[in-house]
Structure 1
């Protein structure tokens, strides 16, 4: 039961905001189809990894979700930057509106 709540918490406060922020940035930057595909692959691999961690470590999930909810941390802090697909998404999101997307 606690594991289900932790997974829900991570989905609500980490995965969903990350998806929304990335989609907005991708649209604003008129991202290429390749970049959009990389984003989808990133979420497809990172989402289950984060939910599994939340399920196995409910205290981590609650701490991470709370930090995200009150603004102490960013969803980008929880993304594996060694994942090639995620690295490009993180660069895009950290680059802000002024940068263009290269792909």
Structure 2
């Protein structure tokens, strides 16, 4: 029961802001709709593992929610840097150019 509550809190305070951050950066950078599709692909591959970890590891969940809420860490820190679907999204959040700008 507590693990379900923690997973719900994690989704509300970590995953929701992560998606909002992606959309905000995409709009500010004038990125095409493709980056939103990439973010959805990234999140669909990452969210199940993040929710599982949130329900299994209480300390990680609480510290992650606090870190994200206070700005001590970036939402990009939640994403797997080795996941090819997430690489452009991480670059976008961190303010670097995406692959379309590099040639």
Q: Compute the TM-score of the two structures, normalised by the length of structure 1.
A: 0.85
Residue 102 (structure 1) aligns with: 100
Provide Cα deviations, 1:18-54, integer angstroms capped at 9, x if missing partner.
1001111112223233322111101111111110100
- The list of structure 1 runs, each at least 4 consecutive aligned residues, that deviate by more than 3 angstroms after superposition, is none
Aligned length: 101
- Listed as ranges, the matches of 1:51-66 within 5 Å are 51-66=51-66
* 1:32 counterpart residue number: 32
Unmatched tracts of structure 1, length 5 or more:
none
TM-score w.r.t. structure 2 length? 0.85
Question: What is the Cα deviation at residue 61 of structure 1?
Answer: 0.5
Q: Distance in 2 between matches of 1:72 and 1:27?
A: 23
Larger RCO: Structure 1 or Structure 2 (Cα < 8 Å, ≥ 6 residues apart)? 1
Root-mean-square deviation over aligned CA pairs: 1.9
Note the residue ranges of structure 2 that are not aligned, 5 or more in a row. Answer: none
The answer to which of 30-39 and 20-29 deviates more is 30-39
